[in-house]
Amino acid sequence: MSKACNELILFHLNFLHENKYQFKIQLNGIDETKTKSIQFSLNTFNPKYTQFELAFRFIFLISSIIATCLFTKSMRRFSILDWSLEQRWMIVLLIFLVFYNDPFYPLTFLTDNSFPTILDGILQASFLCTLLLFWLSVYHGIRQNVRRFLPFYCPKIFLVSLLWIFSIVLSSARIVQEFRDPMYNLTIDIKQFTTYRVIFYIVGIFYILYLLFLIIRAFGELRNMPYFDVRLKFTTVLMLCVVSISITITTLRFGSGIIEENFVPELASRYKNSVEFLSFYSLINLYLYTMAYVYSPAKNAAIDSLFRDNPTFSMINDSDEDVVYGSDHEASQLTPIR
């Protein structure tokens, strides 16, 4: 009974410094009587795909800069104390989105150095972890009008920082080794990263459980309160769309490879085709553009009105929570006004 072996990368070059290369492959420790056939393949990047990627990255970069400027301009006439939790986070997310689209990405093709590639991975991981922190903060913070940094943000930042650190270590180590050694193979050397990989999965599972707990608790406490349920439903619907589409694309891309040991480092590798690249980048960018549009205040929004957020979506900000729940002095008596 024949059995197909997994793919094994024998040699890779990030840059071609010569016009011709000659390879000599010698197979040791292989029983020729039990080996039916060996197939070698040479893969290269299509120049048209490179041009396509650069063009759309530039389009997304310009679009994210414009969206950041427009949203910031729309919020200037309101005091930052009157901004809702979501509006404050939108400024941070839009700034990180600009760097997620990586204005330094062309250096990857212009310099024979691993730094631009590592920087691209760091910027992508930073944005995605900031997005994870945003989801935790929104579902927890929407139930509170007092959000002190140490008790509210520090545990969340610590949890997400672990994901950020381990994702950077797992992806950057591969990039550095590939630039240093053309014969480096992650499948063979993955054992040294086993601890990092296991911790990454454990922290990821803990994050999912914590987020589900906050979502269930938020809906349980605020689903019958006006305005708050709108904010919860809108945030949840958009989040579920992003997560479900991301899981679908990832599953189609890796298939059964999701359970393999090199799955986490592969997430930071280059996209295999233009569909994968455009799907991921369009999803993230459109998600942020949609939220920026929704959370932007309407043109006729009055600064001194009762609800100083976007009136078209009836979303209350932090100062409005004092009206609904009472002042900070009365925070222990959380009785909504009907």
- Domain limits, the chain: 48-296+305-330
Token duo for residue 302: 């009055």
pLDDT of residue 103: 92
Check: CB of residue 67 under 8 Å from CB of residue 79: no
Structure-model confidence comparison of residues 269 and 164, the more confident one? 164
> 318-328: per-residue pLDDT in tens?
444 443 333 34
Token duo for residue 263: 């799955």
Which amino acid makes up residue 49? Y
Check: CB of residue 187 under 8 Å from CB of residue 8: yes
Token duo for residue 152: 């509210």
Let me know if domain 48-296+305-330 sits in CATH 1.10.246. no
Which amino acid makes up residue 33? T
Which residue shows structure tokens 């041009």? Answer: 51
Could you give the maximum distance between any two Cα atoms of the chain, in Å?
A: 85
Residue 199 DSSP SS3: helix
pLDDT band at 270 (very low <50, low <70, confident <90, very high): low
pLDDT of residue 321: 41
Token duo for residue 284: 């993230």
Say if pTM beats, i.e. exceeds, 0.75.
yes
> For residue 119, what are the CA distances in angstroms to 4, 63, 176?
37, 21, 12
